[in-house]
Copies of this chain bind each other. A is one copy, B any other.
Amino acid sequence: MALIVQKFGGTSVGTVERIENVADRIKKFRDHGDDIVVVVSAMSGETNRLITLAQSIDEKPEAREYDVLLSTGEQVTIALLSMALNKRGVMARSYTGGQVHILTDNAHNKARILNIEEKHIRKNLDKGKVIVVAGFQGVDEDGNITTLGRGGSDTTAVALAAALKADECQIYTDVDGVYTTDPRVVPDARRLDKITFEEMLEMASLGSKVLQIRAVEFAGKYNVPLRVLSSFDEPDFNQDSSAKKQGTLITYEEDEMEQALISGIAFNRDEAKLTIQGVPDKPGVAYSILGPIGESNVEIDMIIQNIGADGTTDFTFSVHRNDFELAQNVLKKVANELGAREVKGDDKIVKISLVGVGMRSHAGIASKMFKTLAEESINIDMISTSEIKISVVVDEKYLELGVRALHSAFGLEQKIVEQ
């Protein structure tokens, strides 16, 4: 008896059979009495097919027309899913982003949602209909079709949940929730029942690619209860609402989680670092180094500056591994201009991060982290901290060892419950 927004990604609707499965699942929720708004992505492979078509005409196709093209992918899915629901006797009605007035700015290919007109949806929900909305797309104020960029369907779902004040926004994926770390690295990684928005943001940006980061920001801003769960598990309506539920709920409610110092361990294999040594230390030096990097469209992650002994400074930062060579070339030119001594680089590094709101009020997390790594003889290259996160950069060969040691040291393992 709740209003639930459910989002199914490209893999969950990748074939006609899977669309039929999604329809079966939605029917169970309807039979249970819930009001359902569904957001779907394009069938997996379809977006790539369309991109290939566009690029065979123009390597850099015009942004406006690119959105007109790509938005057809989700439109196919909403029609097929609505047909499948109607065949099951579940009254359903599809809406494109334009039809349901998902108003965005006019930044084609990466538009941001400004407003959603919920009156159409509300009217049809009141008639007992399931509303099936095309994710990833909207219209600007002139009626041009826009897209939110890859993964934007999550954002559509959260924005709809916010506009409708839904009881929950459920994101169905091929994993059954958010884990303390990647189970492929730490086999006894534990699924989290709850996680805060802030933690989820740190986890997402650090490589736990369960949810689009913009969707999490949106959910946090509008306080939309967001649940990540598997599209393969059967819905369980019999569970006590206070008991452990399916998937992972992303929420504001920090209270229950106070005991947990650390919620999870994220890591990122795609890192590379660059150091410019012996830069004359004077005001504006950081900008004169990072400015040209930014102008080359290279995104910088961590930044560290040390004062050297001789009145010069060493400057180290990390970039995405794909940008390593470009950034190195830019930096060499900068070094020349600044009269710096040397440019060094390393693209065989990884970043490991402890994330947890609990660390705000608990000292000693950092030292425990460093001690654990030292005991495994893992050398730390860079350190960066925030309110709820500590990140270290280490040689990539230590990734698995480091994550496992930290997972165990902070007691994140799957708890064996005695019967």
Residue positions of A touching B, CB distance < 8 A: 16, 19-20, 50, 53-54, 56-58, 61-62, 64-66, 68-69, 71-72, 75-76, 78-80, 82-84, 86-87, 93-94, 96, 98-99, 143-145
**B residues less than 8 Å from A80 (CB atoms):** 53-54, 57, 65, 69
Q: A62 to B75, Cβ gap below 8 A?
A: no
Known: A58-B86, A61-B83. 6 other contacts (CB 8 A): A16-B56, A19-B57, A57-B87, A72-B75, A72-B79, A99-B144
Q: B56 to A83, Cβ gap below 8 A?
A: no
- Give the complex CA separation of A141 and B76 in angstroms: 22
Q: A66 to B50, Cβ gap below 8 A?
A: no
- Which of these, B64, B87, B93, B98, contacts A98 with CB under 8 Å? B98
- Give the complex CA separation of A96 and B84 in angstroms: 25
Q: A83 to B98, Cβ gap below 8 A?
A: no
Q: A94 to B68, Cβ gap below 8 A?
A: yes
- Give the complex CA separation of A26 and B65 in angstroms: 18
Q: B54 to A66, Cβ gap below 8 A?
A: no
Given A57-B20, A84-B58, are A75 and B79 neighbors across the interface (CB < 8 Å)?
no
Residue of B nearest to A60 (CB): B87
Given A16-B57, A20-B57, A68-B94, are A62 and B78 neighbors across the interface (CB < 8 Å)?
no
Q: A68 to B53, Cβ gap below 8 A?
A: no
Can you list 8 contacts pairing A with B, beta carbon distance less than 8 Å?
A57-B83, A58-B83, A58-B86, A65-B78, A68-B75, A68-B96, A69-B76, A72-B76
- Give the complex CA separation of A298 and B68 in angstroms: 41
Q: B16 to A53, Cβ gap below 8 A?
A: yes
A92 to chain B, nearest CB (A): 8
A53 to chain B, nearest CB (A): 6
Residue of B nearest to A54 (CB): B83
Q: B69 to A79, Cβ gap below 8 A?
A: yes
- Give the complex CA separation of A84 and B338 in angstroms: 46
- Which of these, B53, B78, B84, B86, contacts A76 with CB under 8 Å? B53
Q: A87 to B58, Cβ gap below 8 A?
A: yes
A69 to chain B, nearest CB (A): 4
Given A68-B82, A83-B62, A83-B66, are A76 and B57 neighbors across the interface (CB < 8 Å)?
no
Residue of B nearest to A120 (CB): B143
